[in-house]
Chain A
Amino acid sequence: MADVITYRQAVAEGIAREMRRDPAVVCLGEDIGAAGGVFKTTAGLHEEFGSGRVWDTPISEQAIVGAAMGAAMTGMRPVAEIMFSDFLACCWDYLANEIPKVRYMTGGQVTVPLVVRTANGGGLGFGAQHSQATENWALTVPGLKIAAPATPADVIGMMAAAIRSDDPVVFFEHKGLLATKGPPAPPDHVVELGQAAVLREGDDVTLVALASMVPLALAAAERLAEEGIDAEVVDLRCLVPLDAMTVLGSLAKTSRLVTVEENPYQGGWGGTLVSIVADEGFGLLDAPVRRVAAACVPLPFADVLEAEVIPTVDKVVATVRDLSAY
């Protein structure tokens, strides 16, 4: 095994491991076959598994996700790619009205075990229709599980859990992390959905982050350490199921909370998390909670403008510094 693997390679590796294990796993999406996907996140799958299991589709997001649903209802475990998460809106009926409801509406008769994978988030200067962090869209829909790994090993472990899940999972791969490297995942690595990870221990403040905001929060924690502020960093990993207990456990130690979200403040997951804390952990707090999130504006194109809108290390550091003085 190589001693490092990129996040991008981990996506293909995670899918490949499940395809080897389970012949019911099939992939479909635009340019995912011989081309290996526009982000090269399916590279090698077509070579290994052939066009009988890795299917190129037309530009037909409704057909991709609707067909994945039909296949999932009838014995397959499809992994559908929606190239950029922004395009989830094109198949939103399936994601919001059909897939997450059919099990419930049918009194548990029909199950939809599928994964919709998609490249999420900003930081690459792709403009307003190719840069959104859309995990909060899915968060509003009861019945979807939501995974958003931050490291290559987690990509593999969570992909295994997602594909094996009997429930539909929206799997957000962050564009800004694709080139990042990390230790490879051991064989049979599975990270159950709904388990946050404490990536850095600290006593003064809890930073809760997701996906690309995780390395950003870690970088902020290093800067804060130089100022004598000891931050604990929690990688949420999943929004549904949401590991609130790990966050409350961390708060019991630090008594200060900052969420770091790439999605817009309005409707972001941090809002849900802090409402749980207000409800169940108010007594743990020594200070108000703070949310560092994107401004409620479409993502602008130019770097200087984008940095103004989404969280940066500077913004996190300033927020924590301010909160520590409370």
Chain B
Amino acid sequence: MTAAPRTADVSDTAELLALYEEMAVIRRTEKAAHDLFLSGLVKGTTHLAAGHEAVAVGASAALRDDDYVFATYRGHHHALARGATPEECLAELMSRASGLCGAKGGSMHLTKASGNMLGSYAIVGAHLPMAVGAAWSARLRGTGQIAVAFFGDGATNIGAFHEALNLAAVWKLPVLFVCENNLYMEYTPIADVTAVAHPAADRAPAYGIPGEIVDGNDVVAVREAVDRLAGRARAGDGPGLLEAQTYRHFGHSRADPATYRPAEEVERWLKHDPLDLARGRLAELGVPAGTVAAADGRAEAVVQAAVEAAKNAPAPDPRDALTDVWADGGARWRT
């Protein structure tokens, strides 16, 4: 593990191109997940993050490799941004033994512990106190690490959000709360069930935490904001909260056509696509279109190969259903 942020400066075109390519891989992985689901190869449900790529990639770029990350069931992009490969992720979704969690977790629980991506949690808000605990642990061990919890706007209405913010603030812990505000909880607009305009950022000050708002589709803006908040947290100035405004391209979960969203809203947000924005920035920096197209081509190839490899991977051994319950590997609860 390195102790330095992975990218130094996103005005550096090579770095920005790398961030773009990461987002392109995520976008294509999500599309593949969608298609595999439709063709019956992905069971259960999926909560795709297409449209949210800049939050995961921008934030990760500002973090050290050894910082901790916690995500929600909409966490494919965070797992990928923290080092899980498309092949591992798709194999998990397709119930293959080679999946990230050995096909025990599924789409909602992608976890890459070796990258300190400590999981995706399907109980809304559950992981915010965990991130507080990881930050506390980092403080106790004096490692200089920080912890980041990514969550949705809907999560700001559950008790765990409020308890986590307060505890983080009173203990002045190095934790960042990053809200991906995509305007909807499931099918209900967040504005219908929340009395403030910015469900995360407007409430943070009540806990003594600065609440910032950022264009969550702009990978550079996200990177800069997280960089700043992470710097404060590492310096001992306490937690930070970032509300990243973004939009999901698909419905809430696999079966949701998202017909409750006004057409002009969808159109406006699709025009504000994180990949397009990054492409625009690259063009401004003078990067030739061919260079960007080559990055797209590499992303395409990686994901295609991942789909093939995952399809060809073996199913898990049914006996593995009874492993991993206890630290000794087994499941024995009685003699």
Chain A residues within 8 Å of B, Cβ to Cβ: 30-31, 33-35, 38, 56-62, 86-87, 89-90, 124-130, 266, 295-298, 300-309
Contact = CB atoms under 8 A, between A and B. Distances in A.
Contacts of A130: 45, 108, 122
B44 A127 contact: yes
A62 B162 CA distance: 13
B70 to A, nearest CB: 14
Interface residues of B, number: 42
A302 to B, nearest CB: 4
- For A31, A127, A296, the residue with the greatest tally of chain B CB atoms inside 10 Å of its CB is A127
B157 A300 contact: no
A306 B321 contact: yes
B200 to A, nearest CB: 13
B123 interface: yes
Contacts of B157: 58-60
A127 B122 CA distance: 9
B316 A304 contact: yes
A297 B325 contact: yes
B100 to A, nearest CB: 11
Nearest to B125: A59
B325 A59 contact: no
B103 A125 contact: no
B171 interface: no
Give 10 closest A-B pairs by Cβ, nearest first.
A301-B106, A125-B44, A58-B157, A302-B95, A308-B321, A302-B103, A58-B193, A129-B122, A125-B43, A35-B187
A300 B158 contact: no
Contacts of B283: none
Contacts of B284: none
Interface in B115-145: 121-125
Contact of B320 (A30, A87, A129, A305): A305
B159 A62 contact: yes
A34 B189 CA distance: 12
Contacts of B45: 125-126, 130
Given A128-B105, A297-B321, A302-B95, 5 more contacts: A30-B188, A31-B185, A38-B186, A86-B122, A301-B101
B292 interface: no
B285 interface: no
A77 B174 CA distance: 46
B218 to A, nearest CB: 27
A35 B318 contact: no
B322 A59 contact: no
Contact of A60 (B105, B158, B260): B158
Interface in B75-128: 92, 95, 101, 103-109, 121-125
Contacts of A62: 158-159
B106 A127 contact: yes
A35 B257 CA distance: 12
A58 B122 contact: no
A308 B319 contact: yes
A58 B186 CA distance: 10
A14 B53 CA distance: 43
A302 B316 contact: yes
A267 to B, nearest CB: 11
Nearest to A266: B333
A86 B44 CA distance: 16
14 contacts: A31-B186, A31-B187, A31-B188, A35-B188, A59-B155, A125-B44, A125-B95, A127-B44, A128-B105, A304-B95, A304-B321, A305-B103, A308-B319, A309-B322
A125 B103 CA distance: 11
A90 B321 CA distance: 26
B121 A129 contact: yes
B206 interface: no
Given A296-B333, A304-B318, A58 B154 contact: yes
B194 interface: yes
B293 interface: no
A279 to B, nearest CB: 22
A56 B193 contact: yes
B265 interface: no
A125 B106 contact: yes
B316 A305 contact: yes
Nearest to B187: A35
B194 A58 contact: yes
Nearest to A37: B187
A309 B154 contact: no
A125 B109 CA distance: 12
Nearest to B160: A90
B205 to A, nearest CB: 20
Contacts of A126: 44-45, 106, 108
B192 A56 contact: yes
Contacts of A305: 103-104, 316, 318, 320-321
B108 A295 contact: no
A50 to B, nearest CB: 15
A90 B158 contact: yes
Interface string B36-49: 00000001110000
A260 to B, nearest CB: 19
A30 B188 CA distance: 8
Nearest to A301: B106
Contacts of B106: 125-127, 301-302
Contacts of A298: 325
B331 interface: yes
Contacts of B159: 60, 62, 90
B315 interface: yes
A129 B108 contact: yes
